[in-house]
Structure 1
Amino acid sequence: MKSIIFKFFSLFSVIRLYNILAIAIAQYLTSIFILGHKENILDVILDPYLFAIILCSSIAIASGYIINNFYDYEKDIINRPIRSSIDKTIRKRTKLTLYFSLNSLCICLSLLISIRAAIFFLVYILTLWFYSHKLKKILIVGNIFSAVLTIAPFFAIFLYYKNFELIII
């Protein structure tokens, strides 16, 4: 039983749930106070399409953390030995299975929103993989892509509200 609980918490360590929650809250706050400020707050919070977009963002980010952890394992053993010892309780095969399952769930859920949402999240997922696999190793390019991938979930909210004003950016 302790082993299962430890693996469960190891998984939370890999997907960095606290970061995902912070981004989801920030997406809701952006929707309420910046993009949907003319709407009733409760209507924004209870909007099922907005919820689905934020859920897709959270799922895609979680899968991005998983694939990043998968590729950085050897480097993390040296740089973060304690965290790596916790993360290694989850097998690589389990991480890959979870990665592909979360990505499939994200794409299927985003198809329920719209084809544009599905294309956005497909491109986002592929870019997260490419960043983790190749771009992260290139000094300046890796840093730029890291910043872009961090703000990309907010672009999904901009697409939903069809708000492309430069003053927001």
Structure 2
Amino acid sequence: MQSILKLIRWKNLIMIALVQLLIKYALFEPFGVTITLNGIGISVLILATLCLAAAGNIINDIYDVETDLVNKPERVIVGKTISEKTAYNLFFALNIIGVGLGFYLSHVVGKSPFFTLFVIISALLYIYASYLKQLPFIGNIVISALVALSLIIVSIFDLLPAITPSNKEAQLTFFKIVLDYALFAFIINLIREMVKDMEDIDGDYKAQMNTLPIAIGRDRANKIIFILSLIPIVAVIFYITNFLYKQEIAVAYFLILVVAPLIYISIKLFSAKTKKEYSHISIILKLVMLFGMLSMLLYPLILK
């Protein structure tokens, strides 16, 4: 069981579930927004998302065995504690459950075409692991877009089916808030994926993958990541100065737990060279993502 939990990356799955719950119960519910999903509905959506994400993690590990044997041999699970056949069976089972739950939920909210989202997510996760991950930058963008979609999908199923002419403005306001968070998740994850490519360059090179640092060289790739790391700093400061400047607690939260770590990351990226340094930056980026998402709890203060 422990090996299966590691294979599906249970900590990442908890993060996804937490963010989706925050959107539902920290953003939508407290402000009386017209919603579609009840407790069971949001549970089904979360379970469907987690099944597809877990399946994506499994297929990623299956295709990454060769690179992981070089980059992190102590973390290799497929072929060691879990056979490749068992991993594939889990991958197919989780995909079937995830897509099946998505089909059910789409009909419950009366928007059957929404079902195609789950099919697209499932297909993209497989294509990413088997092919796109080997391409410079494209794979990073695709997986980051899927991370952003895990936030937007809550709005798609909870807000959009409940839109009427009378509540359209309020619904779209909260949809835009979620979209802002999704864009934040996209850029932070994009930077982190590129940092991981720098960290894993030796194994990726041996496996003949063509990630960005392999395609254009370490130094050029590092400069691009450094420039990208400035974008969320500027974006969050813009957000603070335009929307939060009257809320001292919210301003302090964002400056201390989001902006300061982002500046630290940029400084570290400017001179990063070793695998250990990139691993450290990756961990800080994960924390920034967590604190960024937890800021949804501040919205009773921000929108009061």
Verify same fold: TM over 0.5: yes
Specify whether residues 80 and 48 from structure 1 end up closer, same or farther in structure 2 by C-alpha distance, changes over 3 A only: same
Distance 1:152 1:116 in 2: 16
Question: Residues of 2 paired with 1:32 and 1:45: CA distance?
Answer: 11
* AA in 2 matched with 1:149: L
Stretches of 4+ moved more than 3 A in 1?
43-46, 163-168
Match for 2:20 among 19, 24, 27?
27
Measure how far apart 1:37 and its partner are.
Answer: 3.5
Task: Pick closer, same or farther for the CA change 1:142–1:77 going to 2, 3 Å.
Answer: same
1:81 paired residue number: 73
Distance change in 2, residues 1:66/1:59 (3 Å): same
Q: Which amino acid aligns with 1:52?
A: V
Matched, 1:141 2:138: yes
Rounded Cα–Cα distance in structure 2 between residues aligned with 1:113 and 1:45: 9
1:11 to 4, 24, 33: 4
User: What do you get for the CA RMSD once the two structures are aligned?
Assistant: 2.3
Residue 113 of structure 2 corresponds to 116
User: Is the Cα–Cα contact under 8 Å of residues 28 and 45 in structure 1 kept in the other structure?
Assistant: no
For residue 27 of structure 1, report the CA deviation from its aligned partner. 0.6
- Structure 2 unaligned blocks of 5 or more: 107-111, 161-170, 180-304
CA distance in 1, matches of 2:105, 2:78: 37
For the pair shown, the structure with the greater C-alpha radius of gyration is 2
Q: Report if the CA contact (8 A) 2:152-2:178 is conserved.
A: no
Q: 1:102 to 1:94 in 2, by over 3 A?
A: same
TM-score by length of 1: 0.85
Partner of 1:3: none
Alignment check: 8 A CA contact 1:27 1:157 kept: yes
Structure 1 residues 1-169: aligned runs within 5 Å: 8-39=1-32, 47-84=39-76, 88-114=80-106, 115-160=112-157, 161-162=159-160, 165-169=175-179
Is the 1:31–1:37 Cα contact (8 Å) retained in structure 2?
no
Q: How far apart, CA to CA, are the structure 2 residues paired with 1:85 and 1:50?
A: 32
Q: Contact 1:13–1:87 at 8 Å: present in 2 too?
A: no
With normalisation by structure 2, the TM-score equals 0.49
1:126–1:86 distance in 2 versus 1, CA, 3 Å: closer
- After superposition, the C-alpha distances for 1:55-108 in whole angstroms (9 at most, x for unaligned) are 100111000000000111111011011111686210111111110111111111
Residue identity opposite 2:95 in structure 1: N
Structure-2 separation of matches of 1:123 and 1:85: 27
Residue 153 of structure 1 aligns to which amino acid in structure 2?
Answer: S
Task: Determine if contact 1:135/1:141 at 8 Å carries over to the other structure.
Answer: yes
Q: Percentage identity across aligned positions?
A: 26
Q: CA contact under 8 A between 1:35 and 1:158: conserved in structure 2?
A: no
Aligned residue-pair number? 160
Query: Equivalents in 1 of 2:19, 2:30: separation in Å?
Result: 14
Counterpart-to-counterpart distance in 1, 2:178 and 2:73? 41
